[in-house]
């Protein structure tokens, strides 16, 4: 498997330009490619505290996706999983910082600490007020005081962003960021490694195993655990987080590390919502890709205990597409099934002539079972005759229950009966035909027009046209000729059915997959059935 990139070297700069072209937001980049990859807000007047974050790329939407009103002012991007340079960070600081100063939000990796740290010193030499916070929310390695910074960083972006937007000063914003960092805890789990562009994929995790406590740069997890179900996976993650989170109301952040499908993330969200391992998780950010590790099929959970003020800052609306909001977790709302799924049982009524007519039609198909099966072996699985004969026997058996004296209801009832006994595509199509005929009759349409309306509906739903080697090739000319009498209709049906033997490329239905050699000379069994029916009617009428 390769990747949709041009070159590894140009990956990040091209991705940034692609992002900027298609973000529809007030964003710009600094003119420093390829060395300086900095995205800044264009709608920024420097009267408020600027927030600058960044780090290696490969964590998208972090951090470019969080630059905008209410969150970051600038993002400084390194190459994939590589820290940006001091110059790049300094350029970002200088581009957005005014008299209110600048907060650097840095994830706890040596390269980021040093490059952001030195850039901060150089910016201070210009008289810019710069403070820096180091996010270390990963609890995977309890013995290491230098815990990594992972998805919990998003809480810092959002809370500091809301405060800065409200006009808070640098000290206030920095202090709030520090408080979030002191309280937030995160851990991740993955079923597969990520694919670093330009490097072969490391097949490290065997089937049935999961890595727990992994980093976001392809680092191995601290532990290999058995993977059984999403429920157990979420329980393991929450058990690890539990001793690391404080009391009170909590917000969970459910992060897709990149490669889990939305279905999986929704199942994990369901398990997180239902779990009682950690109490008082009432709010959720996600599930969404928030701080990814390229295409890693994994997730992480971050937990932050919040005060009402902190919650309000997290819930302040922002218009960034990458930010999923912080919502109240609630039980799924469930509405009753509407009435009407149980079909209305028609009131039986008597009409001996109609009963006889229906029985006669059914007998045509019952008699033709072997012949139609034989034709179907050339284009299908040889069961057209059996299917039609079976449905005909069932319909005959139900005649006494049908509303024979009420044409409108009768056709709908036949359609319903066929859809329940026949099965498969042909059953549904005949049910649609008879239902549509009944609808047309109930609207006052004459019989021939009603039958044509039914045929039109079948063509719409089934997608078959005349010439596609289906029953339509017999039914269409038959109905066209029917006003001139059944004999004319039967002749037209026969011509139409025989013509299907010359159609060597079926365009719809199962026969469309069959080679032309096998089709030539054999009538389509559906069209033949129609012809047989009309022929029988013309003889007996």
Residue 75 to residue 322: CA distance in whole angstroms:
14
State the catalytic residue, choosing from 59, 63, 157, 217: 217
For a second copy, which is the closer residue by CB, 298 or 481? 298
User: Applying CB under 8 A, which part among 155-163, 178-186, 291-299, 301-309 lies near a second copy?
Assistant: 291-299
User: Applying CB under 8 A, which part among 167-175, 369-377, 411-419, 528-536 lies near a second copy?
Assistant: 411-419
**Binding characters for a second copy, 385-404, by CB under 8 A (x = yes):** --------------------
CA 370, 374, 375, 381 torsion-angle sign: positive
Alpha-carbon Rg of the chain, whole angstroms? 35
Residue 99 found at the interface with a second copy (CB under 8 A): no
Residue 236 found at the interface with a second copy (CB under 8 A): no
For a second copy, which is the closer residue by CB, 196 or 395? 196
Residue 75 to residue 345: CA distance in whole angstroms:
66
* Least distance from a second copy to the Cβ atom of residue 399, Å: 21
Please report which residue ranges of 97-144 form alpha helices under DSSP H: 110-124
Residue 264 found at the interface with a second copy (CB under 8 A): yes
Residue 18 found at the interface with a second copy (CB under 8 A): yes
User: Applying CB under 8 A, which part among 46-54, 190-198, 373-381, 386-394 lies near a second copy?
Assistant: 190-198
Q: Residue 181: name the closest of 212, 149, 207, 204 by CA.
A: 149
Residue 280 found at the interface with a second copy (CB under 8 A): no
Pairing of strands 281-288, 130-135: unpaired
CA-CA-CA-CA torsion for 445, 446, 447, 453, nearest 10 degrees? -40
Residue 234 to residue 413: CA distance in whole angstroms:
51
For a second copy, which is the closer residue by CB, 219 or 371? 219
Q: Are 528 and 377 in contact, with CB atoms under 8 Å apart?
A: no
Residue 415 found at the interface with a second copy (CB under 8 A): yes
Residue 446 to residue 440: CA distance in whole angstroms:
8
Residue 267 found at the interface with a second copy (CB under 8 A): yes
340 DSSP 8-state letter: T
Residue 408 to residue 406: CA distance in whole angstroms:
6
Q: 204 burial class (0-12, 13-18, 19+ CB within 10 angstroms)? A: middle
Q: Are 214 and 189 in contact, with CB atoms under 8 Å apart?
A: yes
Residue 444 found at the interface with a second copy (CB under 8 A): no
* Least distance from a second copy to the Cβ atom of residue 75, Å: 13
| Cβ-Cβ contacts under 8 Å for 414 (sequence gap 6 or more) | 358, 395, 402, 434
* Least distance from a second copy to the Cβ atom of residue 93, Å: 9
Residue 288 to residue 350: CA distance in whole angstroms:
62
Residue 276 found at the interface with a second copy (CB under 8 A): no
Q: Are 454 and 476 in contact, with CB atoms under 8 Å apart?
A: no
Q: Given candidates 49, 233, 318, 472, which one binds a second copy under the rule CB under 8 A?
A: 233
Q: Given candidates 46, 124, 282, 488, which one binds a second copy under the rule CB under 8 A?
A: 124
* Least distance from a second copy to the Cβ atom of residue 308, Å: 19
* Least distance from a second copy to the Cβ atom of residue 417, Å: 13
**Where in 66-85 is the site for a second copy (CB under 8 A)?**
80
- CA atoms lying within 13 Å on the CB side of residue 318: 29
**Binding characters for a second copy, 464-503, by CB under 8 A (x = yes):** -x--x-----------------------------------
**Where in 356-385 is the site for a second copy (CB under 8 A)?**
none
Residue with tokens 């549509």: 436
Q: Given candidates 169, 172, 305, 324, which one binds a second copy under the rule CB under 8 A?
A: 324
For a second copy, which is the closer residue by CB, 327 or 447? 327
Q: Given candidates 22, 47, 99, 515, which one binds a second copy under the rule CB under 8 A?
A: 22
State yes or no: is 217 an active-site residue. yes
**Would you give the distance in Å from CA 281 to the centre of its chain?**
26
Residue 149 found at the interface with a second copy (CB under 8 A): no
For a second copy, which is the closer residue by CB, 284 or 493? 284
* Residue 460 parent element (H or E): helix 447-462
Residue 146 found at the interface with a second copy (CB under 8 A): yes
Name the residues annotated as catalytic: 217
């Amino acid at each position: 498997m390769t990747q949709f990139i041009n070159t590894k070297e140009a990956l990040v700069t091209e991705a940034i330009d692609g992002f900027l072209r298609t973000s529809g937001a007030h964003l710009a980049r600094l003119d420093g490619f390829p060395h300086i990859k900095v995205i800044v807000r264009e709608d920024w007047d420097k009267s408020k505290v600027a927030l600058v974050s960044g780090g290696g790329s490969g964590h998208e939407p972090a951090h470019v996706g969080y630059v905008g009103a209410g969150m970051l002012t600038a993002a400084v991007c390194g190459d994939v999983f590589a820290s940006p340079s001091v110059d790049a960070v300094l350029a970002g600081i200088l581009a957005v910082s005014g008299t209110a100063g600048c907060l650097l939000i840095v994830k706890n990796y040596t390269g980021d600490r040093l490059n952001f740290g030195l850039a901060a010193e150089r910016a201070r030499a210009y008289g810019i007020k710069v403070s820096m916070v180091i996010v270390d929310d990963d609890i995977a390695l309890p013995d290491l005081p230098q815990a990594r910074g992972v998805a919990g960083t998003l809480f810092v972006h959002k809370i500091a962003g809301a405060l800065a937007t409200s006009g808070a000063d640098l000290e206030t914003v920095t202090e709030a960021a520090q408080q979030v960092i002191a309280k937030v805890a995160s851990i991740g789990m993955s079923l597969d490694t990520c694919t670093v562009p330009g490097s072969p994929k490391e097949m490290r995790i065997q089937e049935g195993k999961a890595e727990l406590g992994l980093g976001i740069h392809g680092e191995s997890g601290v532990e290999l655990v058995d993977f059984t179900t999403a429920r157990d996976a979420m329980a393991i993650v929450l058990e690890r987080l539990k001793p690391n989170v404080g009391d009170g109301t909590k917000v969970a952040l459910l992060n897709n590390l990149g490669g889990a499908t939305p279905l999986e993330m929704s199942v994990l969200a369901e398990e997180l919502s239902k779990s009682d391992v950690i109490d008082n998780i009432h709010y959720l950010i996600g599930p969404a890709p928030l701080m990814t590790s390229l295409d890693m099929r994994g997730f992480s959970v971050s937990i932050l205990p919040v005060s009402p003020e902190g919650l309000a800052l997290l819930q302040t609306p922002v218009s960034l597409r990458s930010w999923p909001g912080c919502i109240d977790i609630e039980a799924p709302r469930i509405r009753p099934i509407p009435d009407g799924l149980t079909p209305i049982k028609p009131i039986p009524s008597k009409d001996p002539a109609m009963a006889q007519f229906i029985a006669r039609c059914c007998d045509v198909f019952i008699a033709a079972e072997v012949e139609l099966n034989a034709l179907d072996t050339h284009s299908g699985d040889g069961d057209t005759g059996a299917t039609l004969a079976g449905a005909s026997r069932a319909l005959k058996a139900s005649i006494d229950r049908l509303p024979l004296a009420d044409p409108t209801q009768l056709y709908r009832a036949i359609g319903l009966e066929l859809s329940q006994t026949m099965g498969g595509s042909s059953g549904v199509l005949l049910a649609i035909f008879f239902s549509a005929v009944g609808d047309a009759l109930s609207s006052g349409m004459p019989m021939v027009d009603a039958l044509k309306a039914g045929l039109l509906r079948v063509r719409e739903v089934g997608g078959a046209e005349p010439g596609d080697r289906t029953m339509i090739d017999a039914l269409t000319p038959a109905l066209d000729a029917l006003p001139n009498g059944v004999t004319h209709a039967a002749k037209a049906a026969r011509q139409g059915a025989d013509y299907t033997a010359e159609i060597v490329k079926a365009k719809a239905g199962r026969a469309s997959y069959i080679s032309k050699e096998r089709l030539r000379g054999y009538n389509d069994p559906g069209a033949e059935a129609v012809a047989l029916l009309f022929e029988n009617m013309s003889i007996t009428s």
